[in-house]
Amino acid sequence: MTPDVVSFRQADLLSALYRRRGPVARLGPYVYLLGPEANQFVFANAHLFRVQEAFQALVPVDGPTSLIVSDGEDHRRRRRLVQPALHHRQIAGYLDVMAENADATLDTWQRGQVVDVYQEFRAAIRRSTIHSLFGARFAADAEFFGVQLQALLDLIDRNPPVITLLRRLNAPVWRRAMAARAKVDERVYAEIAKARAGATDTDDHVLATLARGDELSDLEIRDQVVTLIAAGYETTSAAMAWAVFSLLRHEQVRLKAKSEVDGVLGAQRPTVESLKQLPYLNGVVQETLRLYPPAVVSARTAAEDFEFAGRRIKKGTFLIYSPYVTHRLPDVWPDPLRFDPERWTEKPAPHEFLPFGGGPHRCIGANLATTELTVMLARLLARTELRYVPQRVRPTSVAAMRPKYGLRAEVL
């Protein structure tokens, strides 16, 4: 029998480490900064840390100039240029695209069919993300990006030392990933050239905006585009799967969320105003992100020597902090393993709830992701009912925690 809340054994070992050793613990080559006090220290003292070295494993996918691996002035400049496309007002214009892609998936389901909800919505979220940010022409290649990026995502799902070894050996898996990257780059650079020439299907999507002027090189634009696509659908689709899993395993939660959606929306698609009238569904999204944060752990390297919690940390030390550990601490979250959307009547502190990280490097797509989750869950609840199918649900991947074997459900 699958439990109502799934735990990730590898991450639970970090929770045990925190209970035994407190907020600072050295284990092997890494130093772990765990718990809310450690999170707060990391977010408030960004000058003490670097992300470039910490996230080198992501470079094969995202590129060397991606926001994820940028520090200092380069990070501030790139973030300033990308941020406007992910502002609340801009995201409001994406709601119809999100709903349309959810509906397109639901339209293919038939009563009695067993579907892999994770894979189905992964494809929908990929189409939605690309269409919202880069326009319909780019979205027509959503399946292409899914196939090619998967080879790269499979590569970086390994431990960083393994990735380094595969690269040095020029192993088949590395060669396949690099061939896939070359195909992705060819398509993205072609679109950049069109945008530079003013030949885009809309003037306000992200790529067109980034291509104006000469503040970003073609490589920088490529890296931000690929990062927004890959990180956007990989993490959001994982969270969508856990949200549906939670609804299927908590019948009263599902019924209450459906009642709210039916009462507010009826058969209508969400609007900016109607989304504000769905506090319980928003609680479902937040509670999902608490128990199943997209990144189980995140990393930094020490930019200089510093002291925290009475321990001296040397420059160059590889540091790991964990949203997962913090989100399941009973001192922070009463009855932490209980899935309770009603606990979200008050906004928690940033260092206690950090599914998208925090500080200057907080995920730039956080608002897009939570909006997309809310819209797609609303369409799912409004349009269909699912029954949980007995199965083994096992979390995998610390970079984007997802159900390893998918999530099967029967359409009623």
Surface-to-core class of residue 411, CB atoms within 10 Å of its CB (0-12 exposed, 13-18 middle, 19+ buried): middle
Cα–Cα nearest to 270, from 344, 376, 366: 376
Cα–Cα nearest to 237, from 95, 129, 396, 326: 129
Rounded to an integer, what distance in angstroms lies between the CA atom of residue 37 and that of residue 33? 9
> 386-412: per-residue pLDDT in tens?
999 999 999 999 889 999 999 999 999
Q: How many helices (H) and strands (E) does the chain have?
A: 18, 12
Which domains does the chain possess?
A: 9-411 (1.10.630.10)
Supply 244's token pair.
């549906």
Phi, psi of 171 (to 5 degrees): -65, 160
Residues 6+ apart with CB under 8 A from 32: 14, 17, 18, 24, 25, 26, 319, 320, 321, 322
47 is in an annotated binding site: no
> 173-218: per-residue pLDDT in tens?
999 999 999 999 999 999 999 888 887 666 568 888 888 878 999 9
N-terminal to C-terminal alpha carbon distance within the chain: 21
Three-state secondary structure string covering 63-119: CCCCHHHCCHHHHHHHHHHHHHHHCHHHHHCCHHHHHHHHHHHHCCCCCCCEEEHHH
Rounded to an integer, what distance in angstroms lies between the CA atom of residue 311 and that of residue 309? 6
Cα–Cα nearest to 120, from 132, 108, 111, 131: 108
Name the pairing type of β-strands 311-313 and 395-396: unpaired
Supply 315's token pair.
């420059």
Can you give the pLDDT at residue 399? 83
Rounded to an integer, what distance in angstroms lies between the CA atom of residue 119 and that of residue 95? 21
Can you give the pLDDT at residue 383? 97
Residue 132: CB atoms within 10 A of its CB come to 27
> 90-145: per-residue pLDDT in tens?
899 999 999 999 999 999 999 999 999 999 999 999 999 999 999 898 999 999 99
Cα distances (angstroms) measured from residue 288 to each of 70, 137, 209, 303, 402 = 29, 33, 33, 33, 12
Ramachandran assignment for 177, one of left (phi > 0), alpha (psi -120 to 50 degrees), beta (any other): alpha
Where do we find the tokens 């209970």? 19
Can you give the pLDDT at residue 216? 94
Can you give the pLDDT at residue 169? 96
Cα–Cα nearest to 180, from 149, 159, 154: 149
Confidence band for 88, pLDDT divided at 50, 70 and 90: confident
User: Of all helices (H) and strands (E), which one includes residue 242?
Assistant: helix 218-249
Contact at 8 Å (CB) between 392 and 408? Answer: no
Mean pLDDT of the chain: 95
> 150-163: per-residue pLDDT in tens?
999 999 988 888 99
What dihedral angle (degrees, nearest 10) is formed by the CA atoms of 64, 66, 71, 76? 140
Strands (E) in 278-401, as ranges, are 298-302, 306-308, 311-313, 318-321, 386-388, 395-396
The size of the chain, in residues, is 412
Rounded to an integer, what distance in angstroms lies between the CA atom of residue 95 and that of residue 184? 27
Supply 411's token pair.
């359409």
> Which value, in Å, is the radius of gyration of the alpha carbons in the chain?
21
Confidence band for 28, pLDDT divided at 50, 70 and 90: confident
Map residue 61 onto helix, strand or coil. Answer: helix
Q: Which residues are registered as beta bridge partners of 357?
A: 355
- Which pTM does this prediction carry? 0.96
User: Of all helices (H) and strands (E), which one includes residue 244?
Assistant: helix 218-249
> 278-330: per-residue pLDDT in tens?
999 999 999 999 999 999 999 999 999 999 999 999 999 999 999 999 999 99
> 340-376: per-residue pLDDT in tens?
999 999 999 999 999 999 999 999 999 999 999 999 9
Can you give the pLDDT at residue 214? 87
Q: In what order do the strands lie in the sheet with 24-27?
A: 24-27, 30-33, 318-321, 298-302, 49-50
Can you give the pLDDT at residue 202? 61
